[in-house]
Amino acid sequence: MTDDVTTAVPRPVRVSAAWSWRLLLMAAAVAVLFWVIAVLKTVIVPVAIALLVTIVLTPVVRWLQRRARLPRAAASGVALLSLLAVVGLLIGLAGSSIASGITELWQEAGEGIGKVTAWLAQGPLHLSAAQVDDYVSRIGSSISKDSGGLVTGALSVTTTVGHVAAGTLIAIFCTFFFLLDGRAIWAWVAGLLPLAAREPVHQAGRRALVTLGAYTRTQILVAFVDAVGIGVGAAVLRVPLALPLGIIVFVGSFIPIVGAVLTGSIAILVALVAQGPAAAVFMLIVVLAVQQLEGHVLQPFLMGHAVSMHPVAVLLVVATGSLVAGVVGALFAVPVAAVLNTVVLYLHGHDKFPALGDEDHVQIRGQVPAVKEELA
């Protein structure tokens, strides 16, 4: 009887049902994963930041070991302390002017939005003042509703000072030990897996690290180019607050595609208020030129095969990340997607980095392979 009932159900319906419950199960697992990340974000986000900083500082540590003959622990400490000193020095030298400048910058941008809305009401679109005010009020109310989430995301923790301090200490602590004992930590993590899965996961992890390193270094360079291009353009056009503009563009550019566009729009609004429509048009040309340089030169040639994601995929990933986790989601969406892409492709037999080979074994608990080369 059961076979008769099963046969009576068309095969496409049976296949669809089989896929449906599997997809629902995977969606539930993903939802639980996001919930766990949200609960533990005060720990997870600093650890993720520490991993990115570790990738940036690893070449410095190797250089100190090679050139200065420092042991690994000393080289790691020197590299981390040097980074903290540089950041502290920059904040000390320009902190007050940047803080006051950014406050004034938002005021200038607000005036620029006022001029744009006035043009919408009086220009060729012939929108009524009531319509314009209604649209502006809707946008403002939406931003005010989400402002708490945006601030929380930007700080990567809750709004309490204690959590900010805890997150900073966790990031510094983890960065030092990632630099010092990264190989041993990864070996311990891989050793928790079943024996048959350890070597494939280890090799996938190596390739994920290469992808993450390529993304991090490239994104820093792209953000620097965006900031210098727009900042210098603003200074040449004598737009006020060029330094705060450059800093905002640098930070915003870590959100691919979207960040540089939004921060460039702020520069255009400031130029409109300070210098008039002509300066705003020239500032728009500068922003578009920088975007073309990023989109057609920097991203394709520097990312290469390490982060092979189409711009449409990048945009959708950033949008999804921002919807799920706000600013933090937008910042981490692309590197997470790129790493997952590399890992999944390798585990399914498509190696994006065949030059790495599979000869790099790691001493994992329960295995005694010859250690030919430590984890890169």
Question: Is 45 within 8 Å of 321 (Cβ atoms)?
Answer: no
Non-local (6+) Cβ contacts of 104 within 8 A are: 240, 241, 244
pLDDT score recorded for residue 75: 93
Question: Is 240 within 8 Å of 274 (Cβ atoms)?
Answer: yes
Q: Is the pLDDT of residue 337 over 80?
A: yes
Residue 252, amino acid? G
Backbone phi and psi for residue 127, each to the nearest 5 degrees, phi listed first: -75, 140
| Rounded mean pLDDT, 172-190 | 91
pLDDT score recorded for residue 59: 92
Q: Is the pLDDT of residue 151 over 50?
A: no
Cβ burial of 198 (10 Å; 0-12, 13-18, 19+) is buried
Decide: pTM greater than 0.85. Answer: no
Q: What tens digit of pLDDT does each residue of 96-125 get?
A: 556 665 566 666 666 666 666 666 556 555
- Residue 370, token pair as written in the block: 């010859």
Q: What tens digit of pLDDT does each residue of 277-287 get?
A: 888 889 889 98
| Rounded mean pLDDT, 186-190 | 89
